[in-house]
Structure 1
Amino acid sequence: MSTVPVPVAEPATAVGRVRKRLTSRTASAISLVIALIWTVPTLGLFISSFRPEADIKTNGWWNFFTDPKVTLDNYQDVLFGTSGSSGRLATYFINSLVITIPSVLFPVAFCALAAYALAWTKFKGRDWIYVAIFALQIVPIQMALVPLLQFFNIFALEDEGSFVQIWFAHTCFAIPLGVFLLHNFMSELPGDIIEAARVDGASHARIFRQVVLPLIVPALASFAIFQFLWVWNDLLVALVFVPGADSTPLTVRLAELAGTRGNDWQRLTSGAFVSIIIPLIVFLSLQRYFVRGLLAGSVKG
């Protein structure tokens, strides 16, 4: 009597177990609670930024739903006001963009090249260089401020209105984490693809440009989002390395408003929402790459 073999279910892979946990009802409930906790203050800030000054100072933002009053004077004042107490954030907003965009592009480019060299080229001392770069992550930024200022002083990079030194500072601070993240991602790429390109006579530059870059887009996007949010919201590095008032970013001006005009809540709410609108757009537009970059290479199975 012949018997038909009963297929044995294969053990769940690590990816399957992680996906099952993340899609369970408990995980979904926790995600909803976290999203609610995160969204409610942002909603209150957004509503308050459109409320008249008298309403903001006399009652909470939730009263808007019973007595809705909307005005654009807060944004007009905080962006384009001419008085000394107004925010005049339009100029500082441009400064933040000028500081942030190069401070993201430079580290992404340098870290991608360095990660490829450490992952797919063989040279003496490669592992020690990677360990040294990884160890730099534990060095506090505060310890590097004075040496960097001395370096800028030696090479005369402290010109008024110049952004070179803050670009350089943000790039230096981003390299350890960027190389670590991109190296881990690149090292998980199939070696057969790289070897096939080498057999076909492709140089390292061509392999990096035509083979590796298309495969690491999620990792690059994840690192770029981290770096963008860090630079855009930075206050310490901007206070130390921005050489003059003409180059001051948005965060410094908001700190001045909070410190000297703390009673002008209508300006603070609108100014705060102006400062977060760009990070929200960047995150929401790149979130699919962000999630893929976080999950890729984290588990095997």
Structure 2
Amino acid sequence: MRLSGSITALATPFDADGALDRAAWKRLLESQIDAGTQGLVVAGSTGEAAALDDGEYEWLVTSAVAMAAGRVPVLAGTGMSATARTVAATRRLAAMGADVALVVVPPYVRPTQAGLVAHYRAVADEGGLPVLLYNVPGRTGVDMLPATVAELATHPRIVGIKEAHDGVERMQALLALQSESFAVLSGDDPSAARAMLAGADGVISVASNIVPAAFRQLCDLARAGRADAAGALDARLKPVQAFCGVESNPIPVKAVLARQGYGHGLRLPLTTLAEAHRAEADDVTRLAADIEASCRARAA
């Protein structure tokens, strides 16, 4: 399993009553694949995994596997605060037919670096799926250091890392671990083009929910080393990327998705976008449509 290119951390659409909007989910999936998205992440933090029950999680994963039909890999989040629960969740995911488990650093419990090594080795040994490491210190309270990643990168079932730390030195340290069997993916939209120009394999993106063709083109340009063209497209995307961070993810991106016809809202404790940002959401929705139209035209 070699992960690369534009991979979308999918939001989960809900209907006006707060239930899964299954029709919107299927349309979102097909739109992503049609736009050239190269991987789908189901039920990550952007997908409000913590707010899904077991039946909803299973339906989202199995429907994504069925719709992808081998065209692109399907990843899903299984990371929990306890190793045994993460192993069990990964085994369930394997039974659903997903390709890769996206396993976040255990949140809240703040394990040591040695604890992280033991945790990920157990999940890779016992979970039954390839594992993509996920480091996002701002959400978990622990930063998985490059030396720790180096210990894990040689495991045959650990296939890469999604790194949400945006530092240049951090990305350089991880790129030194890159190999044919270990991919380095940006998990930070604003610095993703820079990371790929430096050699990263791709990005797992939030903003690509709303501009999937643009992110596919950005990845193609950056990974080909076309710095000027990638920089120009990245500059056009900056307002979209910035808006996705004005409130806690996925509040902003779901505000735009709702305007695009994909679902109606979020589940508590997340709340709808503040009134102060709604005019900006309208502007970003229009900008996203313009960027997507031009990128799809160039790809045609």
Fold shared by both chains (TM-score > 0.5) = no
TM, length-normalised to structure 1: 0.27
Higher relative contact order structure (alpha carbons within 8 Å, sequence separation ≥ 6): 1
Normalised TM-score (structure 2): 0.28
For the pair shown, the structure with the greater C-alpha radius of gyration is 1
